[in-house]
Chain A
Amino acid sequence: MNIKVIVKGKTKGALLISKNPINFLGGIDKKTGQVRDKNHDLFGKSIANKILVFPFGVGSSVGAYTIYSLKYNKCAPLAMICLKADITTASGCAISNIPLIVAQREDYESLKDGQEVSLDAIEGNIL
């Protein structure tokens, strides 16, 4: 796999796939991890303890602090997989020590919602 590691780490868990980009500030409830943006395809679902797969983050860079709050409130994703690295998601995962990788489109599109995987964000592998 052709993977770029943005924040290092290893984890195992189920994939949660978001079709839409995510605006962490405002779009996610930082106390529960629930998606609260009514127009989002994951509306009502929780991103807590999942490996969150989404194209990229949008919105204010303050959204990075929301990612930190999610971690602090123990409802953060286990890891994140993006198609494109944006500064907000990259800095949010970095301050919260959440593994983050960027996958090539082909690999990205082969990921299935609910699939259990092992993510190695050191060597850069999804098994």
Chain B
Amino acid sequence: MASETLPLATAQAVTISAAGVYYRALNEQLRAAIRAGAMEVTLTDVTGQRYIGTGIQAPSVKIHIYGVPGEDLGAFMEGPHVIVHNNAQDGVGNTMNEGRIEVHGQAGDVIGYGMRGGRILIKGDVGYRVGIHMKGYREKQPLIIIGGCAGNFFGEYMAGGCQVLLGIGQSETKPVVGHYCATGMHGGVMYIRGTLDDHQLGKEVKQFPLDAQDREFLTPILADFAATFDLREKLTEFERYAKIVPVSTRPYGRLYVY
């Protein structure tokens, strides 16, 4: 990117109006502000601009978004703390590597696809294929926490990291999660709060009650979630949760071997 053509921000906190701004120009302005030393950037009047925060490597920068950001928010992102004050669309945190995305509303399909680090918190419901192909390696353990309910293929082919699904608002007609949950999952862990029938789950996983270690692991995560969204709902009745883990690390290992 040609940095010499971009306006330089001098302030620590910068506000950029996205009204009528094409996504490329908006992302250039955002990057320029961060390069110029801004620690907090507020984007207002966002209406579907794509790729906001994509690929940005800046660990302590905060990006506030007002309005609905477009597809692939924070894709390949490494560091920033993104706060969406409205709903988000599809592809939030696609292949995200580090940082934090908070959505103070609901979000669409394929959230956290192939995610390999950092944390995504969604206050409300999410769509289909959330957390599919998530990966984890040593200290890089991505985490997705969802306050509402999720659609089908939740955590499909998950290979690492952790997903927590709280199911606030679930009912007879609105299940906490759809079908084909954790299909092909072969690494990582899921915690789902609510009633799960085995037929909703892939054949490669089993559900278990939480043990002391799980409770200890979850307690700070739930506290973070409740504090972030100012929730009063009690989230620590651990007997309501199911832990879902793969029963084999190589679910297809025997498929072609006799």
The answer on A and B forming one complex is: no
Identify the B interface with A (CB < 8 A): none
